[in-house]
Amino acid sequence: MTASPHLGLAASHQKRFLVLFDFDETIINESSDDAVVRALPNQRLPDWLKNSYRDGHYNEFMQKVLTYMAEEGVSKESIQSAVEKISPSPGLLNLLEFLHSNQKHFELAVVSDANMFFIETWLQHTGVRRLFWKIFTNPASFDDTGRLILLPFHSHVCSRCPDNMCKQVIVREYLTGRQKERGGVPFQRVFYIGDGANDVCPSLALGPRDTTFPRRGFPMHVLLQSEATFKANVVPWVRAGHQQEGPPTRAWSCSRFPPVKGKFFLASAARLESGPGTL
């Protein structure tokens, strides 16, 4: 976990709303793990390696991939370049620009099962690292042989999540810790933006005043439709140019945030009524 060196603790106490972002297919428009494979000479993994994946042990699998890449002569610089070339999700930079222009209201953090090297590399290259108060992800560093070594973020007992990370544990501990740091003052609203199946569990930590934004048609959105115990409001988000049907208070298009949708986001943060959301 890392904190932004550009944000002061005192100033953070004044922020009313917390916005939590997943990374792969949320901040960026694809999986960073898939993107770095393109640094291989033939830009693909052998079948024996792809078939070695065990359900619930993705970090273990990705370590095999990174070891294979090092053995194939893929350098740190090549991996870094592959990460830097990943496109942001449509409209994501506009959303971050809006949140930055209203930074007195919003605290931002990343909660991702990717790894620190990929996330830090992309955020720094794109020039948005300073916007994020914290990054919660798997530690990663290169060893003397040039291999990127992944470590699990933590251990946990959640049956929903992979063995290296439970995002709900992270979110709950973060909210508790920040409330203490803020002199006992909780955030007025929490917003969680994600796409994957592992983004459902952290969304269960949200209350009826909070909002989760699943990417429409992605696993998180599909799974939330059958989650009977869900308390937070649910607002699906869509690709650029995808016109969302229904009233604007139930969905937003990331590509249209500034200025109209950005204003809606801020207004919804301030005035969202309590009560369970519907899809």
Binding residues: 22, 24, 33, 113, 195
pLDDT of residue 264: 53
Q: Which of 184, 190, 188, 259 is nearest to 231 (CA)?
A: 190
Q: Helices in 47-105 by DSSP H: which ranges?
A: 47-50, 58-71, 76-84, 92-101
Domains of the chain by residue range: 2-28+90-138+158-271
- Looking at the domain that runs over 2-28+90-138+158-271, which CATH code has it been given? 3.40.50.1000
């016109």: which residue's tokens?
A: 243
> Is residue 24 annotated as part of the catalytic site, yes or no?
yes
Number of Cα atoms under 13 Å in the Cβ half of residue 121? 20
Binding residues for Mg(2+): 22, 24, 195
> Is residue 34 annotated as part of the catalytic site, yes or no?
no
What's the predicted TM-score (pTM) here? 0.84
């830009």: which residue's tokens?
A: 43
pLDDT averaged over every residue in the chain: 84
Q: Which of 22, 34, 47, 199 is catalytic?
A: 22
Q: Which of 24, 55, 199, 210 is catalytic?
A: 24
The terminus-to-terminus CA distance of the chain in angstroms comes to 33
Q: How confident is the model at residue 154 (pLDDT cuts 50, 70, 90)?
A: confident
Mean local confidence (pLDDT), 150-159: 82
